[in-house]
Amino acid sequence: MKTLESYVLGRWQVGQGPTRTLVDPTTEEPLAVCGTGGIDFRAVVEHARGAGGPALRALGFEKRGALLKSLSAAIHEHRDELLELSIRCAGTTRSDAKFDVDGATGTLAAYAHFAKELKGAFLSDGTGIQLGRTARFWGQHILVPKLGVALHVNAFNFPAWNMAEKMACAVLAGMPVIEKPGTPTAMLAWRIAQILVQSGCLPEGAFQLLCGSTGDLLDHLGPQDVIAFTGSSATGALLRGHPNVVRHNVHVNVEADSINAAILGPDISTDSETYGIFLANVELDLVQKTGQKCTAVRRILVPEALREDVTRDLVERLQRVRVGDPGEEGTRMGPLASADALQEVRAGIERLATSARVLCGGSAPVRPKGFFVAPTLLLARDADADVPHAFEVFGPVGTVIPYSGAAGAAARLANRGGGGLVASVYSNDREWTEAVVLAISPWHGRVWIGSDKVADQAIPPGTVLPASIHGGPGRAGGSAELGGLRGLEPYLQRTAIQGFQGLVASAFGAPTPVSS
């Protein structure tokens, strides 16, 4: 059994005192222990600020982009090893492991590409503007790297991608990072950290890793620092409310759980291409990563006239899914990541069943060993019941909710989720689609539109792409990540420069706006 060390202060350090045991979610065999007892968290923060920050900022955007490209290549060199490790420590199928690991390298490479158009030490934000009686007195907004450290508290479901996508934005912006992976699957993040450190690409202090608790680290953050968190809305609220974080107004970026909706339009016939991609995408969302995706669909809104067709077809698809050892050929869905996750999903299914009928799957055990649950589909008894709209089960579970077919009815139900990361809309009716999209956009960070015109080209809605923002209002956290260069904004300070146009325009009117 391995001991997962933390990488802090330029060296690997074994935690002292209590540890937590990580297990293989398929066999329940112990794999590793980790803990951060004995680490001087104040020193960790000061090391990042004093060594990593100045070294990164001295490189400029272009060289930091080249650094990201090198990190992507270093991880990709170990791809096969990382895929096998993901299968063992996270319970992913090989396909799901690729989704995570290739997402990590792809996002790093994407931000390396975005950096090619950036020059110098800051970014301009929009064009300059006359402020005085004449153009002589001029204003220009700029974005400069903050002088602190970025603490990244990452989720267990994507130990590779979640770490890499946050790193890509922070490092390109010029901020050193302290990465804290979700503990149940930290073994994969730990191995990637070893690869990154061994590559020698990163300046000293630019990257540190904590395998275990963050201890009193939050007590040492200040106004130039950033916290980026992915996980439950409850934990996000605790981070935001930490006394020291509140006192110093530390920027907190939260990407939280959301009860995402897939909306099937009333114009869609069961023999259309759009109906086909609707079924395929819903099935993928329920099964991929065993439903442990923040972008997975939880509510399936279908016109009452199509309720029987949709439920029949989805049940047939889900009952064909082979659940089992993710290392075995033919397995479509592996276990949940931990015993805690299994307990929560089983309890969640039973709670949903108080207001919905289980059509397939359920909370019953699937195998005698491991953290397995069957793909589960429910049918709401009452579309307006609170539970399906207010309660998320973070696993392979979705609820079909019939609606009248009217655009307003679909939007009202979708918005009942209280804020989502993504909603998917399936329709060939332009007028209906426009009405739904405009009505749900205030409550969603991303709206994905499926139709016959993109049926053979569209990337599934559950996939997070570097060029589009990832985040959403309300329950989804109220923040955003990625979105091309927009992803750098949490790590940059926006400042208005005012003065003589000859100085301001020439010195600070850089050609590349952050929104490009």
* Catalytically active residues, by annotation: 255, 294
**Closest CA relative to residue 166, chosen from 235, 216, 230, 219:** 230
Reduced 3-state DSSP string for 226-290: EEEEEECHHHHHHHHCCHHHHHHCCEEEEEECCCEEEEECCCCCCCCHHHHHHHHHHHHHHHHHH
How many other C-beta atoms lie within 10 A of the C-beta of residue 384?
13
Cβ distance 425 to 437 under 8 Å? yes
Alpha-carbon distance of 476 to 488, in angstroms, equals: 19
3-class SS of residue 164 = helix
Alpha-carbon distance of 516 to 427, in angstroms, equals: 30
Cβ distance 231 to 252 under 8 Å? no
Alpha-carbon distance of 39 to 480, in angstroms, equals: 31
How many other C-beta atoms lie within 10 A of the C-beta of residue 27?
14
Distances (CA, A) of 235 to 174, 230, 232, 339, 470: 27, 9, 5, 19, 19
Residue with tokens 């809104």: 301
**Closest CA relative to residue 142, chosen from 130, 124, 121, 159:** 124
Alpha-carbon distance of 383 to 379, in angstroms, equals: 9
Sequence-distant (6+) residues with CB within 8 A of 242 are 218
**Closest CA relative to residue 9, chosen from 32, 29, 30, 38:** 38
Alpha-carbon distance of 269 to 279, in angstroms, equals: 12
Angle, CA 236 vertex, CA 417 and CA 185 arms, to 5°: 100
Strands 297-303 and 397-403: parallel
Exposed / middle / buried, residue 218 (Cβ in 10 Å: 0-12, 13-18, 19+): buried
Alpha-carbon distance of 169 to 31, in angstroms, equals: 32
153 has which bridge partners? Answer: 180, 229
248 has which bridge partners? Answer: none
